Amino acid sequence: MNPKDVTSKNLGRRSAVPNATVVRVAGPEDLLAYIPYRLGFVPAESVVAVSLSGPRQRVGLVARVDLDDLRLRQPDDPDGPDGAATARWLADHVVDDGADRAVVVLYTATDPTVPASAARRAVDLLRARLERRLPGTEVWLVAPTGFRALDCVDPTCCPPQGRPLTALQGSRVAAHMVLEGRSVAGTREERYALRPAPEAARTQARRAAARWTDTRRRLLNGTRYPEGGGPIDGPAPADAPARRPGAVSGPRTAPVHGLRAERALAEWGAQSLGLWRSAVRAAAAAEPGQPVALSPVDLGKIGAALADIPVRDAVLLSLAPDTEETALRTARRELDGDTDAATGTVMARIVDPVQGVPPDEDGTRAASVVLEAVVTHVPRNRRAPAYLLLALVAWWRGDGGLAAERVSDALGVDPGYRLALLLRGALAGGVPPGWVRRSRGSFPGEPEPEEAAAV
């Protein structure tokens, strides 16, 4: 079973990302303040496992599961949660992350001092599994009344109600995150929610998407206006042959096959990529947190174009630097040995542990803004490619929780979406993006980046 939210180790190494700042976590208060910013929301009725490694006890993997996921399977409920498997899964990932020590944090509004309580059983199950390989695992409690070490019995150190949560909210880590523009959602649902655009905007986007899809369909079928007259997406030119009265419904234009149709389809792909690039430039020009004005018509066309695999792949390629020509050739279906080689080089920057590079923060942020706008404007049956690209961007940036959520969204629309299934497998296996594996020091000659969080 997979954790509901996992963030890869690179979120504990944000200095490896260009222009990222360093955050130092000097003690339990700072670590507890850091976790919600790491996850993007305040956990509730959850258990969080944190890996710490090296002489400076650097923060690595942060993984959250619901308390219910750590319930032991009951004989009368063979399909119910398998807490033992979840605890083993979590412990394996913490150890595989190179941890020398682990910290477990219990978030609950119930009383975990009751031995038979669900919260106590859950945290004890995970601690026992971790203790086998990482002796000395600490457990902390964060409750609505305060925070404390779970097993501490010294009232001067850990009052029964815990130390006030304001100590976490006012910590230097929280202050640093606020200054950096980071925020925390109140709940997991708020963290991942994408609110639909206004109905009028959705209507415009839906109609534009339908027209753009119809254009692609006609071009794929080798049908286009005679001699290329008229725009790719627009009304037929005045001199286009009219349908004969009483004729059977069908294409209103003469079929044109071969090279001319291929060129028209290439033009459609290039225009689609151009719409994407224009939208990303607009999003990049906006200040973080400021609304971005994007055309519903353009968003509808982008949403429709992403269903075309060459365009989707071109958009993916455009996320990496210096890929303008490769992305354009891909969108235009100009696939040859040179394009394949260039595509392989670009993909290696994302997934390869030797050549992997961290994402450009500004570029991927802008791309995510556009993709989220596409999702909130187009009908649900058109959202799978945008969800998938959002998941890939999140994975590349190290946000495993968001990546898993968007992969689930994509598969909810299209259960057989192959690329989404592949990414889901990588997330389930705890496979980080290439630059993270590279930054772990597994490859000789590569300096290990300074950690964003050390405890």
Of 229 and 140, more confident? 140
70 pLDDT exceeds 80? yes
Mean pLDDT: which of 48-52, 114-118, 352-356 is highest? 48-52
Name the pTM for this structure. Answer: 0.71
* Residue pLDDT, tens place only, 416-450: 999 899 888 888 877 788 887 766 554 333 333 33
> In a 3-state reduction of DSSP, which class is residue 108?
coil
Quote the mean pLDDT of the chain: 81
User: Is residue 16 very low, low, confident or very high in pLDDT (cuts 50, 70, 90)?
Assistant: very low
What is the pLDDT at residue 251?
A: 40
Q: What is the pLDDT of residue 305?
A: 97
Query: Beta strand 101-107 with 138-143: parallel, antiparallel or unpaired?
Result: parallel
* Whether pLDDT at 61 is above 80: yes
Confidence of residue 335 (pLDDT cuts 50, 70, 90): confident
Q: What's the CA gap between 420 and 391, in Å, rounded?
A: 8
Strand (E) or helix (H) holding 210: helix 199-220
For residues 295 and 241, is the Cβ–Cβ distance under 8 A?
no
CA 321 to CA 319: how far, in whole Å? 7
What pLDDT score was predicted for residue 225?
Answer: 41
Encode pLDDT of 261-289 as tens digits: 788 999 999 999 999 999 999 999 987 66
Over residues 171-186, mean pLDDT: 83
C-alpha distances in Å from residue 8, one per residue of 49, 422, 435, 446: 12, 17, 11, 19
User: Burial code of 365-385, b = ≥16 C-beta within 10 A, e = fewer?
Assistant: bbbbbbbbbbbbbbeeebbbb
Instruction: Give 349's contacts (C-beta < 8 A, 6+ positions apart).
Output: 320, 355, 356, 357, 434
- Burial of 185-210, coded b for 16+ CB within 10 Å and e otherwise, reads eeebeebbeeeebeeebbebbbebbe
**Average confidence (pLDDT) over 224-246:** 39
Task: Name residue, tokens 């058109």.
Answer: 382
Tell me the pLDDT tens digit for each residue of 364-379: 999 999 999 999 999 9
For domain 5-193, give the CATH number: 3.40.140.10
Residue 56: the pLDDT is: 79
Per the CB < 8 A criterion, the answer to whether 320 and 349 are in contact is: yes
DSSP string, 123-170: HHHHHHHHHTTSTT-EEEEEETTEEEETT---TTTS-TT-B-THHHHT
Are residues 47 and 105 in contact, defined by beta-carbon separation less than 8 angstroms? yes
Least confident of 30-39, 180-189, 367-376, 402-411: 180-189
The mean pLDDT of 243-257, rounded to a whole number, is: 41
Q: Which residues does residue 101 pair with via DSSP β-bridges, in sequence order? A: 52
Residue 22: per-residue pLDDT: 52
pLDDT at 129 over 90: yes
Percent of the chain at pLDDT > 70 equals 82
| pLDDT (average), residues 52-58 | 83
pLDDT at position 24 = 65
Write down the domain spans for the chain: 5-193, 199-234+253-382
